[in-house]
Structure 1
Amino acid sequence: MSTLVVFDLEFTSWPDALERDWAEEGQLREIVQIGALRLSGDFSVVEEYEALVRPVINPRLSAYFTELTGIDQSSVDRKGLSPAEALGELLGFCQGQSVLSYGNDMVVLGENVGWARARGEEIKHSFLEANFLNIRPWLNTIAPATAMSNVGRLWRDLDLPKPTAGEEHSALFDCYSFAAAIKHLCATGATLPEGCLR
């Protein structure tokens, strides 16, 4: 049976970082939380992956980030994996799959893989062992009401039931919102872009 993966990242941020594209000195998009779901051919959830990650360059989370995501410093300090470990686990989870994001999360993933390797850290599994696709343009075209939505609001903008417990800006919740949107749109006649199902 065909499967695919949807994933979402929460990464370090500060006030106005998005508007400035993280251009301020020292502001990098270091991954702090990873969420991913493996979906069957009918878009039901088969397996999930979730991890907290300890940022290296900016190890202290900003108050802005904590307020936005609900992720606090003590949780990251206690439960966070090293970047290399978390990235390797995610890439292993994605191996051989089409991996869909709602936006440029694969770029952020690539940045973090590059920084870890530059520090001399070994990452199990390769970025090239999966087929990463940003399907936000497709989704926004099929459902114009989502054009200004972040991934965690897709379920709401499509008038769907809340997909799971939690709130937006939690990586795993955002994945459930994304998966619900894909399942709904395909059930109402849309076809995923070529290459999304292997």
Structure 2
Amino acid sequence: MSEVIIFDTEYTAWEGSRERRWRGPGEVREIVQIGAVSLRAESLDEAGQFEVLMRPERNPVLSSYFTALTGISQAELQRAGRSFSDGVARFRQFVGPRTAYCYGVDDQFIVDQGLRQNAGHPWPSFFAH
């Protein structure tokens, strides 16, 4: 049975950071959450779900803007957040041999940027957009 993965990321943000293209002082986009679903290709029925919270390293305190936008609180991140490398490893395990897709280039850019910032964590070849 063929399945595909659709995923999305949430990453650090501040009031106006998008308009500034994250060029304000200290504004570095770091992945905070990866969410994904596995869909059966022939029916698009859901076959599985995945979510991981990842603790940002450069900006470990979430902005109130980010929390209002995503509903992810600092307390939740402290309780359930994982390191970047652990989060990526868990996502890779969920995806397995399937292909993972996202909408647009933002997610690909953020993941690529995160991997560059955390050298030694190669992004698997399953990524498509």
Higher strand share: 2
Separation of aligned partners in 1, 2:100 and 2:10: 17
In the alignment, the residues of structure 1 paired with residue 15 and residue 89 of structure 2 have an alpha-carbon distance, to the nearest angstrom, of 30
2:128 maps to 1:133 = yes
TM-score under structure 1 length normalisation: 0.60
Q: Which residue of 1 aligns with 2:16?
A: 16
1:73 aligned onto 2:74: yes
Q: CA deviation at 1:99?
A: 1.4
Q: Return the offset for 1:91.
A: 2.3
Distance in 1, Cα, partners of 2:37 & 2:3: 10
Shift of 1:92: 2.6
Question: Which blocks of at least 5 consecutive residues in structure 2 are unaligned?
Answer: none
Q: Secondary structure at the match of 1:46?
A: strand
2:25 matched to 1:25?
Answer: yes
Deviation per residue, 1:121-150 (Å, 9 max, x gap): x54xx42331x222xxxxxxxxxxxxxxxx
- In structure 2, give the amino acid aligned to 1:127: W
Percent identity (aligned): 35
The alpha-carbon deviation at position 96 of structure 1 amounts to 2.7
The answer to whether the Cα contact below 8 Å between 1:87 and 1:113 also exists between their aligned partners in 2 is no
4+ residue runs over 6 A deviation: none
Distance 1:53-1:91 versus aligned 2 partners, 3 A rule: same
Displacement of 1:22: 0.9
Count residues in correspondence.
Answer: 127
- AA of the residue aligned to 2:46: V
Amino acid at match of 2:17: A
Amino acid at match of 1:65: F
State the match for 1:98 in structure 2. 99
* Residue identity in the other structure for 1:114: R
Q: Measure, in 2, the Cα distance between the counterparts of 1:93 and 1:21.
A: 31
Q: Deviation of residue 100 (structure 1)?
A: 1.2
Letter in 2 for 1:12: T
- Matched ranges for 1:18-167 at <5 A: 18-41=18-41, 42-104=43-105, 105-117=107-119, 123=121, 126-130=122-126, 132-134=127-129
Query: Which whole-Å deviations, capped at 9, do the CAs of 1:17-50 have from their partners, x for residues lacking one?
Result: 1112111132111111110111111111111110
Bigger Rg, which one: 1
Structure with the larger helix share = 1
Partner letter of residue 48 of structure 1?
Q
Cα distance in structure 2, aligned partners of 1:81 and 1:23: 26
TM-score (norm 2): 0.90
d(CA) in 1 for partners of 2:22, 2:73 = 21
